[in-house]
Chain A
């Protein structure tokens, strides 16, 4: 049977991708941030997951504002990165798993999550930066398979932290019921506090970020009780991405083990948090 063996979180901002592209990991500005990923990378090397479900938002590569699905699931055997407008060469394709995707889609829609299914899906930095952060020492051909799960955090009205948490529970149910032996990790990406736009650009709220990390681990019901307005007021308009971490959290048990917890700020405009959680018995 398929099994979720862990939940990860990470920021996904393009500046991180640029830093990896320019091999800046050991530069003073970046070193502490990147070093904090090493324990997770070691763990991934040990457990060798077969597949990663990456929860992220598209920033204008696959989805334009003409059609904005609240939840969209990739249902293909491979996913392509592409030019996002700033001319950075596209990364290699990432392998998918259409059978598992369609199984998840059937299960979620039966659970009344009316997700959009995508048989072609370009994946932008929101997906590629996390994959690179966790597996950049390996050629993409040796990465685990991946399934993109895109959440609209760009054009309001957005879904809620609670809905994301419940979607994670539905995802867990789907994976648990999949007959193939397969080790799966769920990666919640984005956040933490940042606001790119307006006269309030530049927000970083360390206290709120650390509170989110603690409550996501120990008391997810605190997060599910927060309104999007409140999260944006505290963490900035782009900080709302933290709701995607709740999909990961919903896919784990009520009680979790914390194998790794890392925070750094600022990275570009952003407070950056990393979690590695596993189910507690």
Chain B
């Protein structure tokens, strides 16, 4: 038995959330899902280590949760939408996590976004028909 490989595995810096990842990250994501309930958030905040054990995370996953190592959590099967529910406890937004994936500051990450979109209004004018206010 083996997990099938996919063409999307070749996209660099990208962890497509498929059956293989969801299977390996199931306990981790299940714990994150429990944070939709405020009582569970309080229980987790009071003793994160114990809460991770209760949900059956692996030692590596538990350590990464406690240390807020989101690239590792992604590589260990965390789904980004579920990791966002964990990031809250480290005072992090999805943009902070994006910066952490690159190993840069959030301001630097926001600058990348601005650079990627720079000149878009000129492109809209070339394209025609867009709302310009």
Contact = CB atoms under 8 A, between A and B. Distances in A.
Interface of A: 14, 32, 35-36, 39, 59-61, 64-66, 82-87, 154-157, 195-207, 210, 214, 228-229, 232-233, 237-238, 258, 260-266, 268-269, 271, 274
Contacts, number: 155
Interface in B1-59: 6-8, 11-19, 22, 26, 29-30, 32-33, 35-38, 41
A196 B94 contact: yes
Contacts of B95: 268-269
B102 A199 contact: yes
A236 to B, nearest CB: 8
A64 B81 CA distance: 11
Contact of B123 (A32, A86, A207): A207
A161 to B, nearest CB: 15
Contact of B81 (A60, A198, A205): A60
B11 A202 contact: no
Given A59-B81, A154-B81, A155-B79, A199 B130 contact: no
Interface string B98-113: 1001100000010011
B54 to A, nearest CB: 17
Interface residues of B, number: 53
Contacts of A237: 14-17, 80
Contact of A32 (B14, B114, B133): B133
A266 B71 CA distance: 23
- A-B interface, 8 closest residue pairs, ranked by CB to CB distance from nearest: A199-B13, A200-B13, A85-B85, A265-B117, A156-B18, A204-B116, A201-B98, A266-B113
B41 A85 contact: yes
Interface in B78-97: 79-82, 84-85, 88, 94-95, 97
Main DSSP-derived SS at the B contact region: helix
Contacts of B26: 65
A39 B130 CA distance: 12
Nearest to A273: B130
Contacts of B6: 229
Nearest to B123: A206
Contacts of A263: 120, 124, 130
A206 B30 CA distance: 35
Given A60-B81, A263-B120, A155 B13 contact: no
A229 B30 CA distance: 27
Contacts of A82: 36
Contacts of B11: 200, 229, 232-233
B35 A85 contact: yes
A210 B124 contact: yes
B19 A198 contact: no
A269 B17 contact: no
Given A64-B33, A85-B88, A155-B79, A229 B7 contact: yes
Given A154-B81, A229-B7, A262-B130, A199 B101 contact: yes
A202 B98 contact: yes
B79 A65 contact: yes
Given A200-B13, A206-B123, A232-B8, A84 B36 contact: yes
B120 A155 contact: no
Nearest to B85: A85
A202 B109 contact: yes
A232 B14 CA distance: 9
A263 B129 CA distance: 11
Of B12, B41, B97, B98, the most chain A CB neighbours within 10 A belong to: B98
